[in-house]
Chain A
Amino acid sequence: MGLEWERIQQGLGQASALLDRMFPPNFSRWELLLSGLAESLEIAIIASIAGIVLSLFFGLFSARNLMPNWVSIPMRGLIALCRTFHPVIIAILFVKSVGFGALAGILTLVVASIGFIAKLFAEAIEEISLKQVEAVRATGAGFVSVILFSVMPQVFARFIGFSTYQLDSNLRNSTMVGIVGAGGLGGTLFSAFQRFDYDFVAAILITIIAIIMVGEFLSNIVRRIFS
């Protein structure tokens, strides 16, 4: 590998040079920063909403204690497929198939959301007490009503937990998908890197940190409301 002390010293020197050029962060191109940020947020929020809604159904249909095998097995396969690839690879596939821009980013994060929420949601459903389900079924309630009144009350708080966690994760990943051309702040970050605008890079990184912290704070509030 050629990893010698000299090489490490050289690397450390470069890192310190990089830090020197990053500070102070340069917010002078704030309009560019803001439009990238807005696009990232849009990607994250739209993808989260679509992903959460789809996961609700995917998770339900893949729960083995409620669904017959011919429904749950294909569904589980689909969810497993969503989890197979890292979001970067999915993003590249979508950029190649639907073109550059936010649409590819949204689709990427929808897939990632399904892979996470639907899987955990299905597992949560498989752990519920069937006694409660049996009792509601015995009243003559139809399938949908049974789900609404005996399954959902048992798993809804956990579903909200998974969803807010995924929203966090989508916020983070929405700043990444841009690097491969799928829209958002990542694109801005990538070109700043390539032009050695390290002070602007620092400004972007600080913005990302801020947005993640705000996201964390908001999802904590949501979790508290639903628990």
Chain B
Amino acid sequence: MQTTAPNSLLSIRGLHKEYVAGNAILKGIDIDIAEQGIIAIIGPSGTGKSTLLRCINRLIDPTQGQILLEQEDLSQASGKQLRTLRRKIGMVFQEYNLVERLTVIENVLTGRLGYMSAWDAWRRKFSQEDINTAFQLLEAVGLAEHAKKRADSLSGGQRQRVGIARAVMQNPRLLLADEPTSSLDPKTAVEIMELLERFAEEKNMPALVNIHDVNLARRYAKRMIGMSNGVVIYDGAPEGITDDHLKQIYGGESWLV
């Protein structure tokens, strides 16, 4: 096992996950992340990309291994400590996962729930500062005029923008995005990637993005991680990824033409 790089924000060591005993999805993942910007994770469906992201914020419990966020071990955290760590990790979902019956602005404000007591949440007592920030974020994602609409009245691209605003609302140290563009048309997908890139830069944080579209990944990523069968095959600059790597990651080559 490697030692932890002292200055990395996130460092994953020997991460294993088995949903069914003896059938590992993740087979010893080691990743260090210190830099800001988009880090694309590519790989075929079912290779554990989603599982990897969900282990990081513990929506899924890892079977084995360490996940250190700013030197705190997420894999062992529970209760209050886990919630405090989750606050530092904003997550964007493939199907947006907005609370459909809440308004757009309420959805953005849910990003602050980790900072509030249950009593304040019950009274919907968000601080004026949070409300101002939420409106600024909606402005930044171009949805200011939709603030009072119900989330289920928005289009897919608009919903994903709200999802991003909600994640950024947490004031996170790290963004996770699980296939954020897979449900969207190509033009909207590019807009969403740009938005992720912009927030990653503005907030000086890394954004780990699971993505199917290798070209889109190459265009925005500062670093690419290729996964196949639960292990990391490639980890480095997007320029360094060759057709051979892609063959190794996805298998076959007919799709490369």
| Chain A residues proximal to chain B, CB less than 8 Å | 129, 131-132, 134-146, 148-150, 153-154, 156-157
Contacts of A144 in B (CB 8 A): 118, 121-122
Q: Do A148 and B57 touch across chains, with their CB atoms under 8 A apart?
A: no
Contact A139 to B121, CB < 8 A, known contacts A132-B98, A132-B100, A134-B59: no
Instruction: Output the least CB separation between A193 and chain B (Å).
Output: 49
Q: How far is the CA of A156 from the CA of B99 in the complex (A)?
A: 13
Q: Do A154 and B91 touch across chains, with their CB atoms under 8 A apart?
A: no
Q: How far is the CA of A148 from the CA of B101 in the complex (A)?
A: 12
Q: Do A153 and B101 touch across chains, with their CB atoms under 8 A apart?
A: yes
Contact A139 to B97, CB < 8 A, known contacts A144-B118, A144-B122, A149-B121: no
Among A141, A143, A144, A148, the one with the most B-chain Cβ atoms within 10 Å of its Cβ is: A141
Q: Which of B81-109 contact A (CB under 8 A)?
A: 83-91, 93, 95, 97-102, 106
Contact A141 to B99, CB < 8 A, known contacts A135-B91, A148-B122, A149-B121: no
Contact A138 to B102, CB < 8 A, known contacts A145-B118, A145-B121: no
Q: How far is the CA of A129 from the CA of B95 in the complex (A)?
A: 12
With CB as the reference atom, state the residue of chain B lying closest to A149: B110
Contacts of B140 in A (CB 8 A): none
What number of A-B contacts does a CB cutoff of 8 Å give? 87
Partner of B121, one of A135, A140, A148, A157: A148
Q: Do A141 and B83 touch across chains, with their CB atoms under 8 A apart?
A: yes
| Chain B residues proximal to chain A, CB less than 8 Å | 57, 59, 83-91, 93, 95, 97-102, 106, 110-116, 118, 121-122, 163, 166, 170
Contact A132 to B122, CB < 8 A, known contacts A139-B170, A149-B113: no
Partner of B89, one of A138, A154, A156, A157: A138
Contacts of A137 in B (CB 8 A): 59, 86
Q: Do A141 and B113 touch across chains, with their CB atoms under 8 A apart?
A: yes
